[in-house]
């Protein structure tokens, strides 16, 4: 079974990350990190409460939400987690959504959290890394950090909606955005209607 790392950081848009999680967990092992700031945002924006007192209880809640036992959760301060090492092989990592703080840490090699460390490992090992930055607008600093990462092969995928698939609901838009992330990760799916179909 393929292994992927999925992180959700403290920014608007975790609904897309949760949609990516559900789709990934259908066919792959998902190693998940959620930043502390994200739990309240997830609850506010989606109504899903994934917070708990221990990492094990959080993992159980995530597994129940996604309907899969293929999910492993790590606290953002756990630098002994498998995903902190390049010897732990994965197909790649996505950060959905990616806060500007996290993006800056990744762009500048400042591994102050497990999310940043796992992304640093993903880059140094030459694996796929997809970052979905939070909502616009972006400052010149944000854009420079994105450009810096893009130049070394990191995929920057702002949640910009396409309308050629004829979305009718917010779920259609979320599926489109999540599907684009899955495309960049090389995951087969059919969660949105493609052009010409």
pLDDT exceeds cutoff 70 at 197: no
Q: For 55-74, what is the mean pLDDT?
A: 98
Reported as a single tens digit per residue, the pLDDT across 120-141 is 999 999 999 999 999 999 999 9
Reported as a single tens digit per residue, the pLDDT across 136-179 is 999 999 999 999 999 999 999 999 998 988 899 999 999 999 99
* Other residues' Cβ atoms within 10 Å of the Cβ of residue 8: 30
Nearest to 118 by CA among 144, 80, 172: 80
Contact 179, 185 (CB under 8 A): no
**Would you state the pLDDT for residue 70?**
96
Q: Over the chain, what is the mean pLDDT?
A: 96
In 152-193, where does DSSP find H-type helix? 170-184
Nearest to 8 by CA among 128, 99, 89, 113: 99
Q: How confident is the model at residue 113 (pLDDT cuts 50, 70, 90)?
A: very high
pTM above 0.75? yes
Strands (E), 47-192: 71-75, 92-98, 128-133, 155-156
Q: For 72-80, what is the mean pLDDT?
A: 97
pLDDT exceeds cutoff 90 at 58: yes
* Other residues' Cβ atoms within 10 Å of the Cβ of residue 196: 5
pLDDT exceeds cutoff 70 at 94: yes
pLDDT exceeds cutoff 90 at 55: yes
* Crossing angle (nearest 10°) for helices 14-27 and 38-46: 90
Domains detected in the chain = 3-184 (3.40.50.1950)
Proportion of the chain in helix, strand, coil states, percent, rounded to 5: 40, 15, 40
Q: How confident is the model at residue 89 (pLDDT cuts 50, 70, 90)?
A: very high
Copy the structure tokens of residue 98.
């990616």
Reported as a single tens digit per residue, the pLDDT across 11-37 is 999 999 999 999 999 999 999 999 999
**Would you state the pLDDT for residue 78?**
97
**Would you state the pLDDT for residue 182?**
95
């Amino acid at each position: 079974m393929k292994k992927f790392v999925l992180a959700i950081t403290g920014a608007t848009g975790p609904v897309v990350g949760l949609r990516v999680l559900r789709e990934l967990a259908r066919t792959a092992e998902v190693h998940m990190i959620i930043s502390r700031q994200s739990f309240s945002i997830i609850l506010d924006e989606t109504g899903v409460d994934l917070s708990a007192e221990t990492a094990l209880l959080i993992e159980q809640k995530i597994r129940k939400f996604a309907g899969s036992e293929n999910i492993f959760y790590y606290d953002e301060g756990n630098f002994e987690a498998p995903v902190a090492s390049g010897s732990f092989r994965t197909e790649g990592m996505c950060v959905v959504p990616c806060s500007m703080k996290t993006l800056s840490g990744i762009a500048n090699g400042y591994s102050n959290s497990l999310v940043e460390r796992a992304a640093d490992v993903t880059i140094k090992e030459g694996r796929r890394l997809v970052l979905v930055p939070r909502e616009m607008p972006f400052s010149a600093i944000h854009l420079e950090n994105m450009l810096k990462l893009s130049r070394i092969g990191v995929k920057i995928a702002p949640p910009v909606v396409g309308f050629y698939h004829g979305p009718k609901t917010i779920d259609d838009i979320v599926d489109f955005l999540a599907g684009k992330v899955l495309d960049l990760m090389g995951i087969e799916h059919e969660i949105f209607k493609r052009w010409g179909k």
